[in-house]
Chains A and B, each alone.
Chain A
Amino acid sequence: MPRATASTVDHVARLAHLSLTDDERLLFARQLEEVLAYAEAIQKLDTADVPPMSHAAAKDAFREDVVQEGLPRERALEAAPDAQDGLFRVPRIL
């Protein structure tokens, strides 16, 4: 059963905020299908009592909740494609 069709790619591309061209949609559908078909093998493993591993860090790191100096606002805005009045500027959404 195919997992990744062009419409799957459309759905996922929308979630990921990618505007794909028609050529990209077809190419990625084929390539994703190949990779997912390969990955199918892990479905056969018995993982019933196996806990998921999210990272390999020795332990979680905690610190005191103390206010520290951050990046000054002007510096944080320096690399922005568009900024105004100390804020990031984006296209109108209303």
Chain B
Amino acid sequence: MGGLYELSASEIRKRVAARDLSAEEVTRAHLDRIAEVEPRVDAFLTVLGERALEKAQKLDRGLKAGAQAPALAGVPVAVKDVLDLEGLPTTCGSRILEGYRPPFTATALLRLEAQGAILVGKTNMDEFAMGSSTENSGYKKTRNPWDSSRVPGGSSGGSAAAVAAGLAPLALGSDTGGSIRQPAALCGVYGLKPTYGRVSRYGLVAFASSLDQIGPFARTVEDLALAATVLFGHDPKDATSAQAPVPDLMKELPRGAAGLRIGVPWDFLREGVTEGTLAAFRAALQALQGAGARLVDASLPHLPHAIATYYIVATAEASSNLARYDGVRYGRRERKPGLRAMYGETRDHGFGPEVKRRILLGTFVLSSGYYDAYYLRAQKVRTLIARDFEAAFGSCDVIATPTTPGPAFRIGEKADDPLQMYLADIFTVPANLAGIPGLSMPCGLVGGLPVGLQLLGRAFDEATLVRLAAAFEAATDHHRARPPL
């Protein structure tokens, strides 16, 4: 790399605030970068070129007139196409929402724009955020910037790829079972899934309401903390948004790892992690120890049941949430005589195979005769998993795992085997079930492909995750690696 698109969000903000650089220059540099690299990455579904330039010029005029530079002044941000932006297409990666223009804007996006962020585009994703590779998009396949034959991860694959490729220093994603952390790991960037309730979901298209959470992608811990600070906070428009006080995450950056106890669930890690990823994980733990953290064994005995629990709970909720796509109020409609035929054909043509698979599974586990055996049972196991974490955090401050069992797989490799695709989410789904925060950070390359270190924390303790991640970043060079684009 070599240009303005290499700058971090905090550098951009500093230089725009000092009027050493205009928001328009920064925006143009990123739009140029998108024009150059996007054909090889396919991260975006919509590029908001004109709108972005107008917003940047408006910000520049304000700064010139003496306005204070807000926290994200002039910082380009890519947004997963699961978040509504008034009057502009929001597809959620689905053909059933083709042409849909929402009449409102997500709170997360209002917060970003209120702080001077420039939204540069809506990014590609697995349809309705269901998937781990972005191959389930109804529109296009996003390529991993590190290797164009491989997936960027998912479901927020477009956002992760955009940040990795220098198309924006920050991006937003949503994480229901790992959809921020897993693509962050596979693209070699930072990703944060905040505590359930931390970020308002008003204007987020729902997948599984008890699990979904919005969070940022970045190339440095500082940028991740900067974005999180803007996003966090209560919103009366989202009944699940928490009243908890918002910490000053920037203060955590220089605190160091000394005194922190890191729990490692070795029993859970012995199987299914590829050799290179496990080696990178062990080296990361050593670096954290070197930075002053102490390693302890963590016991999370119910984690082997997390995937089954997750795919029952998440699909049950999805089958209910996606009932709204019926060709009546918005989105696609197949013209058929009779209401039932219209519903059925609209949904069969509008949804892709993975979405239909999950609606069927979710409807099944909720159906009469199976509810107790599957859905209710999964909700109880969810309690056991949440209790495991509560108990484990009695003797450690953070739990560390690899983010994924291995690096990015090839496009098409797992596309025909849904169960294999689901099993790869093993390390990320537990945090969503328990509602706790998780952060993925680059921890090395395996065969030239990035892998991630995942840090899990107590509910509402993102501060400790940021603190430890900053200590790791200071002790290593993994975050400096850039894809050979």
Contacts and interface: CB of A to CB of B under 8 A. Distances in A.
Given A45-B384, A90-B342, A38 B419 contact: yes
A45 B329 contact: no
Interface string A12-53: 110111111100100110011011101101110101001111
A31 B357 contact: yes
Contacts of B326: 17
Nearest to B197: A57
Contacts of B378: 39, 42
Chain B at the A interface: SS class: helix
B50 to A, nearest CB: 22
A31 B104 contact: no
Interface stretch (B135-143, B149-157, B306-314): B306-314
A2 interface: no
Interface string B159-200: 000000000000000000000000000000000000011000
B338 interface: yes
Contacts of A21: 348
B445 interface: no
B380 A50 contact: yes
A19 B341 CA distance: 8
A58 B361 contact: no
Interface string B315-353: 000010001001111111100111111111101100101
Contact of B434 (A8, A54, A56): A56
Contacts of B383: 50-53
Interface stretch (B22-30, B68-76, B238-246, B449-457): B238-246
B384 A50 contact: yes
Interface stretch (B55-63, B113-121, B256-264, B369-377): B369-377
B196 A56 contact: yes
Contact of A80 (B102, B196, B302, B330): B330
B103 interface: yes
A57 B373 contact: no
A28 B357 contact: yes
A79 interface: yes
Contact of A17 (B102, B344, B382, B434): B344
Contacts of B79: none
Interface string B212-224: 0000000000000
Given A38-B419, A52-B383, A15 B236 contact: no
Contact of A18 (B104, B330, B348, B376): B348
A22 B337 CA distance: 21
Instruction: Report the contact-size class of chain B (Cβ under 8 Å from the partner).
Output: 35 or more
A42 B360 contact: no
Contacts of A88: 328-329
B359 interface: yes
Nearest to B378: A42
B103 A76 contact: yes
Contacts of B379: 52-54
B240 A61 contact: yes
B242 to A, nearest CB: 5
B356 A12 contact: no
Contact of A79 (B103, B343, B357, B373): B103
B390 to A, nearest CB: 12
A81 B302 CA distance: 47
B311 A35 contact: yes
Contacts of A15: 363, 367
A13 B367 CA distance: 11
Nearest to B195: A56
B130 to A, nearest CB: 13
A91 B101 contact: no
B356 A24 contact: yes
B380 to A, nearest CB: 4
Nearest to A72: B103
B112 interface: no
A4 B370 CA distance: 11
B268 interface: no
A81 B336 CA distance: 13
11 contacts: A24-B353, A31-B419, A35-B418, A45-B380, A52-B383, A53-B386, A55-B210, A57-B197, A58-B459, A76-B329, A90-B339
Interface of B: 100-104, 196-197, 209-210, 236, 239-244, 302, 304-305, 307-309, 311-312, 319, 323, 326-333, 336-345, 347-348, 351, 353, 356-357, 359-361, 363-364, 367, 373-374, 376-384, 386, 418-419, 422, 433-436, 459
Given A57-B435, A71-B104, A75-B103, 9 more contacts: A17-B344, A32-B361, A47-B377, A53-B386, A54-B210, A56-B434, A58-B242, A63-B236, A91-B337
Which 6 A-B residue pairs are closest in the complex by CB-CB distance? A56-B435, A19-B344, A52-B379, A81-B333, A79-B330, A55-B210
